[in-house]
Structure 1
Amino acid sequence: MTIPNTKWVGGYKVGQGGFGLASAWILVDTNTSKPIDQVVIKDTFEPVWNSTEDKGMYKYIYRQLVQKGLDFGASLGHVSGKAPAKDRFFKEAYMHGVMTTTDPVEEFYTVPLWGYARKKTNMFEYNLWRLYMPLFDCRDLRSLVGVHKDANRRIPEPFLWYTLDCLMKAAILMEKNPRELLEAGNDDVIVVFDMKLENIFLASPDQSKSFPIYPRPYIADLGGACLTAPDDPLNTSNSLPFQYTKQWEAPEMWRPGTPPKGERESGPILPMGALRGSCTNVWQIGRVLQQLMILEEDPMEIGFDSECTPAQMEAMTYESGKSVLYPDSYYSDDLRGFVRECLQFTPEARPTPQNIVSRIKILGPLYYKGMDIFGSDAWMQTKERQNAAKPKTTTPLAPSPAGVQQAREYTRAWSKKAKGRFLKLAEFPDSDLLIQWASDRNGRLWRYTDPDRDIVDRHGNPIDDLEYRYCVNCAKNVDADMHFCPKPVPGFGGGPPRPKFAGGF
């Protein structure tokens, strides 16, 4: 499907790691030079010795990816949807694909997959996988913590309740979705393992959803996740091949390692039968909320040790942010209680995601302070009726300059109609209930999604410099400033093949 009078412009640097990079591409209306849509292309180089065959618990996922239209060419030399089992497995794509819904009204809280493909590369020791995903222009929770810390401001409690609710609903779907696969077990679950602040992306506020002025959290980077079950041999033997970050390690993830020379080696800290599952997701969600409360971007390692009692090791979990300005005591006992329950040392002592979500429905509204509906259509209709009922001699409120300036940030992704209605009402939330936006950091990403900003000049050339460009010689996206091409002249031009739009963009 080709949209007339459009072209893709990219790529703009979004992220880069040891084994890949992510670039933003913008679909531009060539008549107006304005953006229509955005996509992030994530290129990952995986060593060829990593198996590309889907087997075991993963073997029935591909047919679901095909049904969802997510195969953009998973196997070289085969048409989309017909990739052989031995050539199509890339775990990050499979995990995000299982969690992606094609129902436009269904809520889910993991980064959706729009498509995946395998590409040719001259790096023969690697396979090049390409993922197509949406652009999250409000960055991530780590950035949010940093901005609030720099501004000497607490993160509003209503946002923390909202985040906890969203992440727990994601954990529920990590149970539900895998169990709908062919020949799935009743206890199958996706365990994230590498959940941390920087792996929870923030989407722009959505006026049609709950908490209309807050950014929406989505769990990202499921490449280190595993699909497992209580009877999974890899789980029962503590041999699951997950990726993780030491500071975010749940007790059941801990494995004895080789200690520094001269130091004692710790034994197991939990019984050998301790399994990884939803309890692990719950612990890591609790760890995320803990760091949001104490404004700590990089928590210290917990220091599990078999010579410590479970109570001592649980206490260590609460001592990883001593240098922060605000202790968690600023927040309500109910919210702090949830976090402590999630962070219990013994896995079976933790509440289930369903239990937490059901209790948030009861307790959360006591602490939302109206932010769950502030700015919604229902809220504006109520305010408009109240204003209409006032005597005609009543002087309407005039928008305060500070309120308007703050509103520009949280309403930037709203429709023009909704934004106009909201500003006309001239009622703004207390500043203590607002998120501290990283305007300087978000500004570059916001340029790519601003419907009123030109992306190309009158000659069709990108207004912003492209940090990533496609090298034809190397058949991959590269950092234009640092690329060393094997040929005398880099083959810059063109770009990644345009997606087929089967995945919904």
Structure 2
Amino acid sequence: MVGAPVPALRGKPITHRIPSYKLYFEYCPHGDLHDVIKAQVDEREVPVPRVRSPGGHMRVQKVRRADGRLVPRTNRTSNVPFHEGFVWRMFEALAKCAVAMERANVLHGDLCPTNILLGEHDPDRFAIWPTPKLSDFGSSRVIDAMVASRFTPPETMQMNFVPPELGVMRGDWEVDGLKVSHRTNVWQIGLVITCMMRLEFYLPETDWRTGPSSIHPNDELHFHDPNQRELHPHSFQHANCNYSPNLLALVRQCMRYDPARRPSPRALLQRIQARIPGSCGGMDTYTGDRNGSIPWNKTEKLRGLKKDNEWPLGDDAEVVDVF
């Protein structure tokens, strides 16, 4: 299931008086997108690059501590941008999920960084990075006539990631007359990619729904206000980032207020795959150095990935049943 867009689901019936199932998801060893964003944001000590000695050898730069010991020189870094290739890798994976959901006529409804897992590496596609997997379909629904016309109760799981069609305010729909469609999934994908480019777990523009806002009210997203329905064009990336116009423009299209102005899932995937060859620096086919790894000082290196054995499975793992 390495190339699949969602984790494989396995299960078997359990003998109880009440029929039930025990479900097992495909093991995704590298955590979730929220973990990875946090690792890129957090301040940490990193070694400074090696320098070439007069004899031509590369040597580690060192500094003398107060106790007289020589230790490697380090710098404190934080808010390290994701390599653009990894952003495209995530964008493509989520677009594939959107296409699969369109085929199944499904609205996810809870698409956010904590629900995007990082599975095993795909040796044939962006091999140096884990494979993104969309999970948690607990709030998903089939887009039937009732859902499309919003005759179902106005509810959403992640208020900070709610699209215009699912926005609620004071217990009712925030905007009248909108329709739920497969482009609703596309809006949430655009917001997730924006979080990556801005190095944020969620955007303060949407945080007013869950508590006091940290930004000026005029900069918040309020779908009922025609002047505040979309993010400002300059607000799609962190000040440390310099992503390509192609990427920024496509993400902005996904987050259009009017669903008709967003690309369909199929069109989105086609546009992403057409732009990847010229925008990701060859990372779609790059396999790392001679050992298959990525040096710590390369921009394509993801910080703080979970180790493969961090959550053990098998004889040494503690198995806990939760019902």
* TM bin (shorter chain): 0.7 to 0.9
CA apart distance, 1:212:
0.6
The structure that is helix-richer by fraction is 1
Counterpart secondary structure, 1:216: strand
Report whether the alignment pairs 1:314 with 2:227. Answer: no
Residues 445, 247 of structure 1: alpha-carbon distance in 2 compared, 3 angstrom cutoff: farther
Which string of whole-angstrom CA distances, capped at 9 and with x for unpartnered residues, describes residues 183-234 of structure 1? xxxxxx1111000001000012232x211111110100001101114xx124
Report the equivalent of 1:147.
39
For 1:150, the aligned partner's letter is D
Contact map agreement 1:238 1:275 (CA 8 A) in 2? no
Which string of whole-angstrom CA distances, capped at 9 and with x for unpartnered residues, describes residues 370-403 of structure 1? 2111129xxxxxxxxxxxxxxxxxxxxxxxxxxx
Report the equivalent of 2:110.
194
CA apart distance, 1:353:
1.7
Report whether the alignment pairs 1:160 with 2:75. Answer: no
TM-score, normalised relative to structure 1 = 0.49
| Cα separation, 2, equivalents of 1:342 and 1:334 | 13
Contact map agreement 1:235 1:275 (CA 8 A) in 2? yes
Structure 1 vs Structure 2 CA RMSD = 3.3
Residues 428, 289 of structure 1: alpha-carbon distance in 2 compared, 3 angstrom cutoff: same
Q: Of the candidates 242, 251, 261, which is equivalent to residue 339 of structure 1?
A: 251
Contact map agreement 2:254 2:262 (CA 8 A) in 1? yes
1:1-400 maps to which residues of 2 (within 5 A)? 107-115=3-11, 117=13, 120=16, 129-151=21-43, 152=78, 153-176=80-103, 178=104, 189-207=105-123, 209-229=124-144, 232-239=145-152, 243-258=156-171, 269-272=174-177, 274-300=178-204, 301=206, 305=222, 308-309=225-226, 311-315=227-231, 326-327=238-239, 330-375=242-287
Report the equivalent of 2:312.
448
Relative CO higher for 1 or 2, CA cutoff 8 Å, sep ≥ 6? 2
For 1:224, the aligned partner's letter is S
| Cα separation, 2, equivalents of 1:306 and 1:174 | 25
For 1:364, the aligned partner's letter is I
Residues 119, 248 of structure 1: alpha-carbon distance in 2 compared, 3 angstrom cutoff: farther
CA apart distance, 1:445:
4.4
Counterpart secondary structure, 2:299: helix
| Matched residue count | 275
Tell me, which stretches of 5 or more residues in structure 2 are unaligned?
Answer: 44-77, 209-220
Tell me, which stretches of 5 or more residues in structure 1 are unaligned?
Answer: 1-103, 179-188, 259-266, 377-406, 408-421, 450-454, 457-461, 470-475, 479-505
Report the equivalent of 1:433.
300
For 2:200, the aligned partner's letter is E
| Cα separation, 2, equivalents of 1:354 and 1:248 | 22
Contact map agreement 2:156 2:162 (CA 8 A) in 1? no
Residues 222, 241 of structure 1: alpha-carbon distance in 2 compared, 3 angstrom cutoff: farther
Which is higher, the Rg of structure 1 or of structure 2? 1
Paired-residue identity, %: 21
Residues 349, 145 of structure 1: alpha-carbon distance in 2 compared, 3 angstrom cutoff: same
